Amino acid sequence: SWASRGEAGAAVSGKLEPEAEPWSLQQPVDGGHSSSLLPPLFKVLWGRRGGAPGLQPDSRALHYMKKLYKTYTTKEGIPKSTRSHLYNTVRLFTASSLHKHSAGGQVTGAFPPADLLFDLGRVAAVEHLLKSVLLYAVDTAAALTSAAACACSLVLTGPGTPSQAPPGAALSAPCSSQLALGKNPRWLEIDVTPLLQPLLAASQRSVQVSVNVTCPRAPGQPLPGLPLRVPPSLILYLNDTSAQAPRGRWSFPSKSSAQARAPDSAGQQPAAGGRARQPRR
Amino acid sequence: GRESPGRTAQRPRGAAPPSLGAYLSRLLSPHGECQLHDFRLSFRQLRWDRWIVAPQRYNPRFCQGACPRAVRHRYGSPLHTLVQNIICEKLDASVPRPSCVPAAYAPLSVLTIEPDASIAYKEYDNMIATRCTCR
């Protein structure tokens, strides 16, 4: 049962009430204060110290990330060993500000041309970008079909106007779309990796995205389908190269096999078929 | 006194036969010896559930138990462990006996809400003990 001795013990001990402070477990014994000693998970929690929960993410974005979590992990939250991707970190950002351009009577714009500002300050230097997408939530299958026929153009720049940005920071390209995870809501992804890569490589942590989506007018319809009314999120698929991040593939042994298998003489790696190779006495 | 497969013939009618896994477990890990134990916790207990969206529960497991005098091969202990045992018994009792500690770990994926309301999926290494050893 879930109420094992461990959980029950933690619950009745009272030591964790009212709130456990993981940073207190990491303090140097001399009383010094050094958050640099904290592993990444505790650094995340360190940033919350004594504070309110703070901003809450968009519910659709949270839904998407929960779905992604279920796809990537086992029931116990362990990364699936059968995964094919190389990234060990995925970050989803919502636009911190939005400035809509005047539509100007443009009837083909599915989503009014907008400048989206993404603050990517949470991306650490050890997190290397492998892929990035703009993610639109689409409510209905019909809208998704309509959205799939849309074309879009993108401009990604660093902070400031394109004229103030360093040469080469402003990029534009036609975007291709693909359907992605989930059924309700459905998702439309636009790959922006080639545009974002040079900005992140140049340590730009604030990125302005100008996106213009145009959709074909359906026959007999006075206006084109408008499937993309909500501003998109920006998702970064990253490879964290720090020591705390797992490397390569691994397998999670069952409890019984964990006891039965013996490491090799160095005690580092389990001996393949270890017991079978031991001489019997 | 250990149960052997031959004893299954003597068990009462209707009783479930002992599983091979349970039999092997008892054979390989005598009671009280160094082995993995579960410790299931909920992030709600720590009040971390405001930031950690998933998993809601976590079993880091831990190693506990006595290290046998003659450390068996299944623990994969280095020769140093045997020497330390001899020192403790024969020369100086203040030298501690070898300890039962994790020998291998598995990672854990964590979904967190960051202070800026962004959402992060990260995999952290060495979050779950998967094997114990005597060192």
Residue A27 or residue B43, greater confidence? B43
SS (H, E, C) A118-167: EECCCCCCCEEEEEEEEEEEECCHHHHHHHHCCEEEEEEECCCCCCCCCC
A48 neighbourhood in chain B, CB within 8 Å: 50-51, 115
**Residue B58 in contact with partner chain A when CB distance is under 8 A:** yes
Residue A46 contacts residue B49 (beta carbons within 8 Å): no
Q: Is B114 on the interface with A (CB under 8 A)?
A: yes
CB–CB contact A119 B21 (8 Å): no
| Mean pLDDT (chain A, rounded) | 65
Asked if residues A204 and A157 have their Cβ atoms less than 8 Å apart, the reply is no
Q: Residue A273's pLDDT band (boundaries 50, 70, 90)?
A: very low
pLDDT at B71 over 80: no
- CA-nearest residue of chain B to A11? B45
| Partner-chain contact B73 A68, CB within 8 Å | no
**Within chain A, where are the H helices?**
5-13, 40-46, 59-72, 141-148, 193-201, 255-260, 274-277
- What was the ipTM of the complex prediction? 0.73
Q: Is the dihedral of CA A9, B51, A180, A140 positive or negative?
A: positive
pLDDT for B102-132, tens place per residue? 999 999 999 999 888 899 999 999 999 999 9
Determine whether the interchain pair B124/A246 forms a contact, defined as Cβ–Cβ distance below 8 Å. yes
pLDDT per residue as tens digits for the range A87-145: 899 999 998 766 655 444 344 444 556 678 898 988 988 899 999 988 888 766 666 56
Return residues 183-242 of A near B (CB < 8 Å).
240
pLDDT for A33: 47
Contacts of A76 in chain B (CB under 8 A): 55, 59
Residues 19-48 of A with CB under 8 A from B: 19-20, 39-41, 44-45, 47-48
For the cut 50, the answer to whether the pLDDT of residue B99 exceeds it is yes
Q: How far is CA A58 from CA A188, A237, A265, in A?
A: 17, 19, 52
Q: Which of residues 104-123 of A touch B (CB under 8 A)?
A: 119, 121-122
pLDDT of residue A215: 65
> In this complex, which of A53, A266, A271 lies closest to B50 when CB atoms are compared?
A53
Q: Which residue of B has its CA nearest to A234?
A: B118
Give, in order, the Cα–Cα distances in Å from A187 to each of A65, A183, A212, B2, B69.
12, 8, 18, 59, 60
Rounded Cα distance between A100 and A267, Å, is 61
Long-range contacts of B91-98 (CB under 8 A, 24+ apart): B97/B67, B98/B67, B98/B71, B98/B134, B98/B135
Q: What are phi and psi of A191, to 5 degrees?
A: -75, 120
